[in-house]
Amino acid sequence: MNIITRLLTQSDNAILREEMSRLLTGLFKGEIDPKDVFSPAYQQITDGHLLDYSGFIQHLEHVRSQIRDIAFRVEQIGCHDTLLADRHIVTVTYPEGHQAEIEVYMFATLCAGKICRIHEVTRVANGEASARALAHATG
pLDDT at position 1 is 63
pLDDT at position 88 is 99
Q: Where are the domains of the chain?
A: 3-135
- pTM for the model stands at 0.93
Regions of the chain where pLDDT drops below 70: 1
3-state secondary structure the chain: CCHHHHHHHCCCHHHHHHHHHHHHHHHHHCCCCHHHCEEEEEEEEECCEEEEHHHHHHHHHHHHHHCCEEEEEEEEEEEECCEEEEEEEEEEECCCCCEEEEEEEEEEEEECCEEEEEEEEEEEEECCHHHHHHHCCCC
pLDDT at position 104 is 98
Question: How does pLDDT run across 84-124, given as a tens digit for each residue?
Answer: 999 999 999 999 999 999 999 999 999 999 999 999 999 99
Task: Classify domain 3-135 by CATH architecture.
Answer: Roll (3.10)
pLDDT at position 89 is 98
